[in-house]
Structure 1
Amino acid sequence: MIIKKIVLSLIILCNIMLFHSIQAQSLKHPVIWVTEDERVDILDKIDKYVWAKSIVNQLHNKVDDELKAHQENPNRILNSIPAFAKHDRENSEQKAGPIAAGHNKVLALASEAGMLYYITQEEKYAQFAADILAFYIEHIAPLTPQTTTICGYDFFDPRTTYGPFALTYDFIYTYLQKPNVTVYNKTKGRRVAFSHAKAQKAMSNIVGNVLQEYGNPDQHGKVISNHPILTASGALFGILCIENDKERQRLFDIFWETGTAHQNSFKNTILPMFGEQGIWPESTSYSFMPIITLVLNIVDRVYPEMNVTKENQHIFEGNFLFDHLRYPNRKFVRFGDSKRNNDGTEDLYKYTLAIAERRGYTNLKQQAEIALRQAYDVKGGFKPKLDDHIFNNFEPFDLFWGIPIPEKTEGAINFNKPTVLVKHAGVALQRNYVEKDNVTYGLCGIIGGAHYVHSHVTGIAMELYGAGYVMGPNAGLPPSVQERQIPLHENYFRLYAGNNTVIVNGTSHGLDKNTWKGNSYVWQNTTVNIASEPKHLEDPISTNFNFATQFLKDEVNNCDQERTLSIIRTSEKTAYYFDMFRSKSLDKNKFHDYIYHNIGDETIITNIKNEPISLEETNRYQNDIGDPVQSPGWRYFENTQVTNPTQEAVNVKFHINEDNRYMHLFVPKGIEREYTKALAPPSREAENSYLKKKTQVLAIRQNGEAWDKPFISIFEPSVGSKSSVQSVEPLMDGQKVVGAKVVSKVGKALITDFIISQDTSHASYVNKNLNLKFEGRFGIARVEEIKGEKTVSLYIGDGKKLSLAKVSIQANSLNKEFKSFIIN
């Protein structure tokens, strides 16, 4: 009997050992951000570099006092933890925010204590983190993936609470494996043994709640929003904390390969949405998506045999596009639901540099180092700061992944290229940079529009910068999530009238079918670039001229539209925009409205003699087409006053009283139009007091088509009330308008620009009176006269031949050319 008992005991012991061998994991912790083998190098980094030491000091400042208070009274911090929600559909985004912030504050503290344990190896930090972690484990472990939640909103927990929960476990894992480890149990009021089984069950519930295998399957190749990217870290961090190798691999395969409707496949749904430009196809501030590069880096560290960084080089290259989308004041251009002050570029560069350093991508490493050095130089150095932002807050990465950047780097990246194209958004940027005081005298603008996640319905919208301000802003995104739901956003800012565009027959609108957000009516066709000089991110042939032309085949409103934006410089301190907007309905052309918004305090409409044009009240914009969003959105125009119809040239000034800046708008004579000035809701993210002041609006109505008789506007920003532009006249080809003659006075120079903008690349224009000939789409002939000496400059942006009087040029094989001639 004794022998049988011994044999039975041995069998049981072997089974237990076999079970544990099956459950054991091959991954060594920590593994998510960093490994134990990297600790020596990190300590060396802390010893050598002020910025690294600063991060450690900040961690101590955040943790040490709280740790001491916890040692004196462990209930103090645990009592500050908010109540847990009952399920992950319990709260709206607004209600979940404060709850998530409360939990994140405690869990972030635990993860930061875990980081200090890794750095110092002092067990007091691990014990502090373990006590907090155990409190959450006790609550989560008894649940199921379906019932697991912390804040009650399944979009927030993976971004705010699940990440630091997993990081804490990862950083203190080796401490928790020590014998006789105890944690404080708030319910029992005493210390108890740490339960590994409960910890694994809680981690499994968290991962299961993010993946939601119990929901619908993924549809590979579908177009999705950014949600599964933002929640990806909450899933991946937890998966890497699952001990059982087989189960961890199964969960990772779901995350990477299979996906679910809630957490789409990273490989087969998320990554394929990155087009040839390597950027996430949304509006500017949503497009950064540094979590993509972060996830690729972590996956490459843990599973190097997958070669995920080699297969996604276009995404790393795409990370450098965003710095090309800045205005001279370093704010970002804005299209769709976007915020110009959001900036994710440094994170993109840091994560890219970490990949390039480890994988030996020499060119990528050099680009990242240069981009970071240029960013640090603008800010006065690298001064990392750990903040309390709750969403995907990964600032400590600077310590673990940060690579010292040389004080001097070889080469530079020119982020001031004249032309930048963002293809998914149908946007073309035009820029003219000056070496001295570019913030004041540099120009930059965008034109375009398309349907994509977080788009607006705008046709070919425009945004203009000048004299230190984004003077003519696109609509953008409100400060809070709640404000996105109000009529002001849904029925104005997202629609045509909330942007700088042309409205056809008073009915321009979007469709609801296939739109990125239900009941928003913002689907439109994509604007495409049909010509530009220079091409995307290429060097210009002239420092004074550049242009881009965007075309929209609008199948929603059954019309064709084409917009050309050119920046024309006349001196280091003077330049202007040439905006030509062609538009025609393919049905009946009743009328077209050219809408332009400008920040400021007043709008002054005068004739060419600078005499005010009389105005009378009108209610012509108090109507809509009757759809659910009240398209085209112009009911929000207030104090509308309109001129009588006039064919004369009209000058408009938008005055910014705060520092006496102006935007001058010149409209040439020849076409009968009515000019309405109005006030609109304040512009989002406007500078200084203009964040709260009503926006100045100009609406120009033209009866009939606007293709052969397009809208031409010359915009000149200025410091002070004086403009350098003196007059603007149309260039006519019979009854067709093909450009403008712009006369400027700059110091002692009289500058006359003949700007030709035709609607095909093979069009011909002959003006016998001016002795001017051009074959092509876009060209400029300039005559500059100073004290009787004339210089003629000929510029072909897209064309074959250009001549003025006795001088001429012929384009090269790329259909462009520039040359200057001194005329005696």
Structure 2
Amino acid sequence: MRKKGFLYCLLVFAFLNTHGQTKNRPFIWVDADDHHIILNKIETKAWAKSSYEEVKQRVDSTLVFYQENRDKFLRNLTLDWSQAKTNSIPPLTYTTTGKKGKHENLDNASDEEMANFYKLSDYLQSAKEAGFLCYLTNDETYAQYATDILYTAVMGIVQLQPSDWRPRGGWLCPDDILRESRLIGEKYPIVYDFVAPFIAKGGKPYDVARQSDVDFPMAKAQEVFRTYARLVVDNGMINSNHPVLESNCLVYNALALEDIQERNMYLEYYLTKNTSNQDALAKVAEFYKNEGDIWPESSQYTNDVAERSTKLMYVLTKYDPSLQLGRTYPNIPWAIQRLDYLVNPNGELILWGDGHRKYKTPYDAYELAYKLGKIDSVPKLEKQFSNLLGSAMAKGEYQREGLEALMWYHDDFEQKETTIELPRTDEQPHAGIFLQRNLSSTGNPDDGLMCFVGGASMVHGHASGMYMELYGEGRVMGVDNGRGKYAQNIHENYSRIFAAHNTVIVNGASQGEGEWVNLGMDTVTLECMEPMPKQKAVSPNYSFTTTNFYDGGGTKAEAEQQRTMALVRTSPTTGYYLDVFRSKSKLPIEYHDYLYHNLGESLTFLNEDLVLNLDANRFMANANAEWRRNRKYRNPGWHFFKDVETSERYSEDVELLFKAERFKDKNRYMKVFMPGFEGRTYTKVMAPKTFEAPEPYDKLPTPTLVVRQQGEAHTKPFVGVYEPFAESANNGSVLSVEKLEQNGLFQGVKVTSKIDYKILVQYHLMPFENGTLSLREHAIEFQGHFAIITFDGNNVLKDIYIGNGKRLKIKSFLVESKTDRFNKVYIDFNTETPIVEGDFNIGKIKQER
């Protein structure tokens, strides 16, 4: 607390003492010193000339209509002429959802309701660009055009009454300061900053009501800037991304204020001073304690917070170098690159919460992170982002363009190609995510493998339970539903609750509770993992995670869960996943449903004796339960399932196949092997379409498997071996999966594959509760948590992998940890001298050949 207080005083003292005098406008985005630099870029850099001409052409094309009929052009600026008074510009038209008596933000407003809002935004955007052109060329035609728009917009909005509704009351949008601040509120001050010199030397705006030039109403313009700054401070919503999304509006309007003390007061609210409705930068920075930390929401908000904060840190440090915001908060710009590492082999993001799968590296933000490092003398930032930008330029992945590039990006970088080395494993703690990847030696993303387990509560998070995704053949095949438009029935009652995820639903009652919009749940935690996140793997082919989760939402689930996922590569082009999900409720009568969604058009059970019957009412118990937006839901959401078909109880092993044969490039398949248990039934359904899916599966329902275990699923866990493959439904390499049992308890699986016409037999050893497992086959004994032993078709030992264990005996061959703790080891027998990695004592090898 003492350190934070010192930082607060230091920042405020430096700021107030530096800015006791007036600065010449413009100075928010650019100042007089930037003028010759920009002109030089236009003359010497093709990209800068192109960007300049693009801005000029865009403004000039609108300027034509303005010059043809100045009066008509300005009258069209979303003014409510039904309220016009003599010689007075009428107010702007309010933008609302049209729902009387209800506070309703604009997330789902109709196109008609948003038309005037977007029109005003376009006018102000054009004025902003015209202001820049005036600054650059000294052509007062642009200044007059921008001033006329600004004047009309100022006179129109000052007649409206700002909302006092908290947490989201606006001005033009009485129920949505969040949207208004981003698209309207932050543009007024930038236009003013550019045209202020024109106004100062006598430039007059045109008044469409009086049809004459008038003095610019400086007091009213200042009222606009003051009001927008105050609305952000007073009417925002804290402990989310909202304060950062609104921060441009706060900072730019503060900088537009001419009263120095008032300007500094509002800038303090951005820098250090929190309110009950606005979080300051110092509070935001608390989430970035270490390099690599990111904002704790879903992906698009995660990067947006870092990017927006970096931009304002640059603008304010440029305005007042003594702030040294890059040096004070270097982990914020450092976070911008983090999503580059949370990707599947095809470059698509992993999915959590309301996030998106598509991802475009934010090179514009890289530029500002670099500049912030340079002006604040943070060599690590400067070097990292100059290297990343130089590499992207060398590869042709990034070329500068646009207004901000024209204003701010100057430096040349060494254009040397580099590659991002994706680690075998990674984590994202705030989302409870632990991922495994195994890129192929072929270099083809289609041959890469990747999976993750995750789940946590956060703003824009989902009540997902402990869920997973699976990647194969160049696509995420085992998919999370993602999300569509907010506030819709499917979003509220399916996409962001349990049934939309590859998870386990307990007693039909798993749900979120409390925290953000009543979707709170525990965070998935790590039991053990090999390799640990970002660490070196002992094996080139194997990895695993074991995670824990407590399903405690409401009062009817009350289940402790554990999930072990292993990634197994069997050749440069083949591999599979092992998923073992244990779940046990505290309640006396229990049942558990395991859900798996896969892209495709069909799901087929390959067991001829497993008969499915229509079961339309199976998941409909809560279909008409109470729903209150952002508060109460129709949990667990599976009433959206269609074409429900269920088996009688079936205890045999099951094989099933998902077909995805409508991709443009190739057919894809996911084959699933599930060892049988007593008390088990199998259901196939068509779930809603998957958002973020590739064509055509973004418009088709998603075939989904639901497996129910009557009674506990702890000693009778859900076990699945998943193999993705392509081209033909017969191309799978896994031949069979057999359950390994001891004393009636599940202890692992034996997987037999055929790789390049050769048999591969792999024993996945998972002793119950980390005990000791004994198998007659090969006289195997294992004490530990997880291991894989691989033989060829002639029973010759190929390799041993202990991901977490203490002792393994195979006939007379012994591997034993050097300490009392569980450890990891990999032994490859494919060479003359076996390769051994790990902290184990290795006994004498007696191998029959």
TM-score exceeds 0.5: yes
Shift, 1:312, TM fit: 2.1
Q: Determine if the alignment matches structure 1 residue 188 to structure 2 residue 210.
A: yes
Q: Which among 402, 427, 431 is matched to residue 425 of structure 1?
A: 431
SS at match of 1:208: helix
**Mapping for residues 391-540 of structure 1, pairs under 5 Å:** 396-404=403-411, 406=413, 408-409=415-416, 411-414=418-421, 416-436=422-442, 438-478=444-484, 480=485, 484-511=486-513, 513=514, 515-517=515-517, 521-540=518-537
Aligned match of 1:4: none
Separation of aligned partners in 2, 1:717 and 1:433 = 15
Match of 2:15 in 1: none
The answer to which of 225-234 and 791-800 deviates more is: 791-800
Once the two structures are overlaid, the 10-residue window that deviates more, 423-432 or 732-741, is 732-741
Report if aligned partners of 2:48, 2:401 keep a CA contact under 8 Å in 1: no
Residue 734 of structure 2 aligns to which amino acid in structure 1? V
Q: Indicate the SS of the match to 2:594.
A: strand
Unaligned runs of 5+ in 2: 1-18, 80-91, 97-101, 165-169, 628-632, 831-846
Q: Secondary structure at the match of 1:161?
A: helix
Q: Which amino acid in structure 2 is aligned with residue 685 of structure 1?
A: E
Q: Which residue of 2 aligns with 1:773?
A: 781
| Structure 2 contact 391–418 (Cα < 8 Å) conserved | no
Task: Provide the rounded CA distance (Å) in 2 between the counterparts of 1:244 and 1:332.
Answer: 46
- Secondary structure, in 3 states, of the residue corresponding to 1:578? strand
Displacement of 1:91 in angstroms is 6.7
In the alignment, which of 107, 125, 138 is matched to residue 142 of structure 2? 125
Is 1:645 paired with 2:649?
yes
Unmatched segments (≥5 aa) in structure 1: 1-22, 387-395
Matched residue of 2:510: which SS? coil
Measured in 1, the distance between the counterparts of 2:387 and 2:786 equals 36
Q: Give the 3-state SS of the residue equivalent to 2:256 in structure 1.
A: coil
5 Å matches for 1:142-541?
149-152=171-174, 153-177=176-200, 179-212=201-234, 224-268=239-283, 270-274=284-288, 276=290, 277-288=292-303, 289=305, 290-341=307-358, 343=360, 345-373=362-390, 380-384=396-400, 396-404=403-411, 406=413, 408-409=415-416, 411-414=418-421, 416-436=422-442, 438-478=444-484, 480=485, 484-511=486-513, 513=514, 515-517=515-517, 521-541=518-538
Tell me how far 1:271 sits from its aligned partner.
Answer: 3.0
State the alpha-carbon separation in 2 of the partners of residues 384 and 76 from structure 1: 37
The separation in 2 between residues aligned to 1:537 and 1:29, in whole angstroms, is 49
The AA in structure 2 aligned to 1:780 is I
SS at the partner of 2:332?
helix
1:726 aligns with 2:724: no
Aligned partners of 2:146, 2:795: CA distance in 1, in Å? Answer: 79
2:296 and 2:810 map into 1 onto residues whose CA distance is 44
CA contact (8 A) 1:353 1:403 kept: no
Shift of 1:579: 0.9
**Percent of aligned pairs sharing the same letter:** 30
**Greater shift in the superposed pair: 364-373 or 240-249:** 364-373
Q: Distance in 2 between matches of 1:553 and 1:141?
A: 53
Q: Which residue of 2 aligns with 1:5?
A: none
TM superposition shift of 1:229: 1.2
Match of 1:748 in 2: 757
Cα displacement (A) at 1:66: 1.6
Report if aligned partners of 2:391, 2:415 keep a CA contact under 8 Å in 1: no
Quote how far apart the aligned CAs of 1:476 are: 1.5
Matches of 1:528 and 1:263, distance apart in 2: 31
**Gap change, CA 1:707 and 1:438, over 3 Å in 2:** farther
Alignment equivalent of 1:632, drawn from 624, 631, 636: 636
Structure 1 residues 405, 745: closer, same or farther in 2, change over 3 A?
farther
Q: Deviations over 1:335-390 (max 9, x none)?
A: 11222225464344233222122223222223223444555677x4324565xxxx
Contact kept, 8 Å, 1:807 with 1:821, in 2: the verdict is no
CA contact (8 A) 1:87 1:149 kept: no
Q: Is the 8 A contact 2:432 2:524 kept in 1?
A: yes
State the superposition RMSD in angstroms. Answer: 2.8
Greater CA deviation, 712-721 or 65-74? 65-74
Go from structure 1 to structure 2 and tell me whether the alpha carbon gap of 1:509 and 1:143 turns closer, same or farther (over 3 Å shift): closer
Question: SS at the partner of 1:328?
Answer: coil
Query: Which secondary structure state, in structure 2, belongs to the residue aligned with residue 367 of structure 1?
Result: helix
Q: What code does the residue aligned with 1:399 have?
A: L
Question: Displacement of 1:453 after TM fit?
Answer: 0.7
2:726 counterpart of 1:737:
no
2:41 matched residue in structure 1: 45
Query: 8 Å contact 2:672–2:720 — kept in the other structure?
Result: yes
Question: 2:167 aligns to what?
Answer: none
Match of 1:688 in 2: 695
SS for the counterpart of 2:800 is strand
3-state SS in 1 of match to 2:763: strand
Q: CA deviation at 1:204?
A: 2.0
Cα offsets for 1:433-462 (capped at 9, x unmatched):
124353322122221111111111121011
Aligned pair in 2 of structure 1 residues 699, 86: CA closer, same or farther (>3 Å)? closer
* Residue 812 of structure 1, CA deviation: 7.8
Report deviation, 1:90.
8.1
> Is the CA contact (8 Å cut-off) linking 2:658 and 2:703 kept in structure 1?
yes
AA of the residue aligned to 2:213: R
Whichever residue aligns with residue 381 of structure 1, its letter is E
Q: Give distance in 2, aligned partners of 1:673 and 1:352.
A: 55
Q: In structure 2, how many angstroms separate the alpha carbons of the residues matched to 1:312 and 1:676?
A: 52
Q: Given residue 130 of structure 2, which amino acid in structure 1 is its aligned partner?
A: A
Q: Deviations over 1:394-426 (max 9, x none)?
A: xx3222233556363375431x22222111111
Give 1:13's aligned residue.
none
| Alpha carbons 1:141, 1:205 under 8 Å: kept | no
Change (3 A) 1:739 1:299: farther
- Change in CA separation of 1:612 and 1:310 when aligned onto 2, cut-off 3 Å: farther
Alignment correspondent of 2:56: 60
Mean CA deviation greater in 697-706 or 433-442: 433-442
Q: What count of residue pairs does the alignment treat as equivalent?
A: 767
Contact 2:673–2:737 under 8 Å retained in 1 = yes
In structure 1, how many angstroms separate the alpha carbons of the residues matched to 2:198 and 2:441?
57
Q: Does the Cα contact within 8 Å between 1:51 and 1:382 map onto a contact in 2?
A: no
Counterpart of 2:691, as a letter, is: R
Distance 1:690 1:497 in 2: 19
* Contact 2:787/2:802 (8 A) holds in 1: yes
Residue 806 of structure 2 contacts residue 816 of structure 2 at CA under 8 Å; is this kept in 1?
yes
- Counterparts in 2 of 1:509 and 1:149: CA distance versus 1, 3 Å: closer
Partner deviation per Cα, 1:566-619 (whole Å, 9 max, x = no partner): 211111111111111111112225221111111211111013xxx463222223
Distance of aligned partners of 1:661 and 1:374 in 2 relative to their CA distance in 1, 3 Å threshold = farther
Q: How far off is 1:501 after superposition?
A: 0.6
Distance 1:376 1:802 in 2: 51
- Aligned to 1:56, the other structure's residue is in SS state helix
Q: 1:29 to 1:752 in 2, by over 3 A?
A: farther
Q: Is the 8 A contact 2:610 2:650 kept in 1?
A: no
Alpha-carbon distance in 2 for matches of 1:566, 1:716: 12
| Residue matched to 1:31 | 27
Q: Secondary structure at 1:321's aligned position in 2?
A: helix
What is the CA deviation profile of residues 610-645 of structure 1, one whole-angstrom value per residue up to 9, with x for unaligned ones? x46322222322224966422222212221112232
Assess, with a 3 A threshold, how the Cα gap between structure 1 residues 773 and 50 changes in structure 2: closer, same or farther: farther
Change beyond 3 A, Cα 1:612–1:190: farther
**TM-aligned CA distance change 1:486 to 1:140, over 3 Å:** closer
